[in-house]
Structure 1
């Protein structure tokens, strides 16, 4: 009987270690863990520290603020080591500071100032670092730090984690296409038997589509800005009126490896993010097409799945090996694309000079890429467990000789143009012969023999079979090379 509502039960929210609310930080954590280094809250704070550190170094290295001392190499390294050693203790310390500031970027500023104040203990006694303490967050608004941090984080996630996985998947699909380039297969258009193709060519189409999206993603820009509270350099000029602040801003943003955006409100406009997320979502949707096609090929028997020792397909039907990898990928690609679409549509709008909708929205970039990465992993695992049933493909082709009707009527058209008599209404004659009828090889050859085509054409058509009627399919796979 059901557990009585009054019966005591463990409060799972209080269990230690903490139980994840979502699957990416629970069930699927091992697969998506590399993204934590780029798109987690801790990664965001580390990136903020990095931006603040590099800003201090940039200002002092270029003599932007009069009277500020230049930092020695070991002093610059000390600051950069604050970023390099940022870990669990620093995450906890920042959280403790933020409980007082109730402002995440201000907490980062105070955190770095603590490290600068402690520098004489780590460096020589005459270090000048304490003198540059007030250059931390100098003339910056929070969004100067945040936009650069997110650009660095997303670029790192895309370049270092997501793209290598996506490229590896696409290369594996291309390798399968090359392996099966000449394996003939009945095509289905609208679910009905159609002009034969090869398995490799159909896989090559998907690999080609995926690679095209990867090229778009590789060319996407990552923009950044540093221009103050409303994008006017007001505080910068008020503090140091003689500096070329546009040049300082541009060189700093480019020093971070980003593209400088010269015209913004308080926030960087996020258009580059919308462009990137649209491209990744499109990759997702092409991959979704691959997953559904492979699922269908498994259902048809084109692919058989290699059983994994000890694994269960169905909890009640022992014979089954479910295509779970491709079904899991479908679902995760749909979730990822929905999140990416939401990010792309939401981030490009900010009321007047600033609202905070992007603050919480951008914290969902990690889940968007996480679900995509999980899907990529599932498709790769699924593809490795497939075997092609060439005997089944041959049987299916041999059972559909009517698909040669296209070839015969096309040859009749060509003969008619060349002046051969008796080639009237070729399409209609083949339609009458084939539509709604299942033909044998003998049926098709007898029809060809009675057409009165030139002998060489008759022989070519008589020697043709559904398995050989694949045109240039096998050769087309070479476009992937």
Structure 2
């Protein structure tokens, strides 16, 4: 094209571009499995599709072992230790090949739990090649998924998955974050800071006390989450033990069910429809969402303190704050956390509101909904990681806070009028209308220390009261703020 002539060409039509959907290895559709994979990868072992299938295999294996160990079904052989080990090894060695095998079977069954049942029956049939001709495992194939509906397996699998994700991944990360916030609060317990109520200068506090408030709130939610129950059931197609009693009427199936669920480390739910009612999930997700929202509050407050200069951001010289403004260091960790906390809370709210409802004895809305538990926790875990990294890159700028305090002597108006009220009650004359007199002195204008001291001197307060007020500065007017931080340890 000749120089200086306009380029009239157009981008290639979208239909002519190479598709990205067929690239191998597959490109992630969402950021949790792409850009942010490293921060949320530990959840994959608990809340992924593969983890769900592994837990299904685990539940089916333990149900088979439970039935045979307790002689529930007459005539069923008792398994030897090496046979139980062989079954449990199917879970322990669950890997990419197993995932692929299940996927191939599901293409035929078009049913994920049935694919798991067939996989386990195949392993039983293959047991002689490993354990020898004398093993009884091939004989117990029909005890796999015995008297069970798919939801018997699924509800227990999801309970184990969520329990593992919360206790082994999410809670340790959240606990570490709250510990770091509490440590900052203790370190800076006595560093005075101008408070702002409604965005306006207000009674001073300390940065440590304000961080302690947030740490205390977050810790309270964590204690609720740590106490969460994870419920489960295994009672058949409509929760009546119908198939169980039809097959083996002499067994105490209620006791068998309870002992099995508790053997898995879950709380037994005695009354259900086809599904376990998921109320425990709604309760847990509400608590996690509340933790998210309190953490969102921390992120926005810290962002604001950064904008006020109360925190200095420490960044490596190789990082970029702005693509055009070299001086900038943006509080991106806290902004990223805000967005991910909002996404997580929205998903958790949806999970909680959807899962507690099921049409009569069963519908499948919960099946699709529960497949999004991973993203809900993933966005929260990512936010926790961002806040932790953001806090690690901050230094408290006490000098900046001191300058702000020194520019707002009017905040001592509250202290002076309160002292006047107390003196008036004690009979000191001339203490009438203290609020109105301080309002006239301070509202809508800045005053200096000299202005305030002159006003105090003119009041006729007792000498000790006047001396105490005259010695007061905005930086010293923090009440019991520093001492209150100790309640983090109660």
Shorter-chain TM-score: what band? over 0.9
Aligned counterpart, 1:406: 414
Distance 2:329 2:445 in 1: 35
Equivalent of 2:325, from 317, 324, 347? 317
Aligned with 1:185: secondary structure?
Answer: strand
Give the one of 72, 76, 79 matched to 1:71. 79
CA RMSD of the aligned region, Å?
Answer: 0.8
Aligned residue number for residue 190 of structure 1: 198
Aligned residue among 373, 376, 379 for 1:368: 376
For 2:315 and 2:422, how far apart are their aligned partners in 1?
50
2:112 — aligned with what? 104
Aligned mates of 1:162, 1:269 — CA distance in 2: 24
CA distance in 2, matches of 1:217, 1:13: 39
Q: Deviations over 1:170-195 (max 9, x none)?
A: 00000000111000000000000000
1:14 is paired with a residue of what secondary structure? coil
Equivalence for 2:3: none
Q: 2:130 maps to what in 1?
A: 122
Alignment of 1:22-61 (within 5 A): 22-61=30-69
Taking the aligned partners of 1:476 and 1:387, their CA distance within structure 2 comes to: 22
**Superposition map of 1:11-410 within 5 A:** 11-410=19-418
Q: CA offset at residue 7 of structure 1?
A: 7.5
How far apart are residue 2 of structure 1 and its match? 3.5
CA–CA distance in 2 between the matches of 1:276 and 1:53? 28
Which residue does the alignment assign to 2:16? 8
In structure 1, the residue corresponding to 2:372 is in which secondary structure?
helix
Distance 1:104 1:333 in 2: 32
CA displacement at 1:307 relative to structure 2: 1.8
Answer with 304-313 or 285-294: which moved more: 304-313
CA distance in structure 2 between the partners assigned to 1:273 and 1:5 by the alignment = 47
Unaligned runs of 5+ in 1: none
Separation (CA, whole Å) in 1 of partners of 2:397 and 2:177: 22
Q: Take 1:125 and 1:197, find their aligned partners in 2: how far apart are those partners?
A: 77
User: What is the rounded CA distance, in whole Å, between the counterparts of 2:167 and 2:177 in structure 1?
Assistant: 15
- In the aligned structure 2, how far is the partner of 1:123 from the partner of 1:413? 89
**Cα distance in 1 for residues equivalent to 2:396 and 2:229:** 41
Change (3 A) 1:7 1:146: closer
Q: Distance in 1 between matches of 2:15 and 2:26?
A: 23
1:207: how far off? 0.3
User: 2 CA distance for matches of 1:130 and 1:68?
Assistant: 12
CA distance in 1, matches of 2:408, 2:275: 62
Deviation string 1:175-222 (CA, Å, 9 cap, x unpaired) is 000111000000000000000000000000000000000001011100
Give the Cα–Cα distance (whole angstroms) in 2 for the partners of residues 180 and 258 of structure 1. Answer: 42
Q: What is the CA–CA distance in structure 2 between the aligned matches of 1:309 and 1:130, rounded to whole Å?
A: 65
TM-score (norm: length of structure 2) = 0.97
CA deviations 1:140-164 (Å, max 9, x no partner) are 0000000000000000000000000
Q: How far apart are residue 5 of structure 1 and its match? A: 1.1
Stretches of structure 2 that go unaligned for 5 or more consecutive residues are 1-8
Whole-Å Cα distance in 2 between the matches of residues 409 and 61 of structure 1?
78
State how far apart, in whole Å, the 2-side matches of 1:388 and 1:256 are: 48
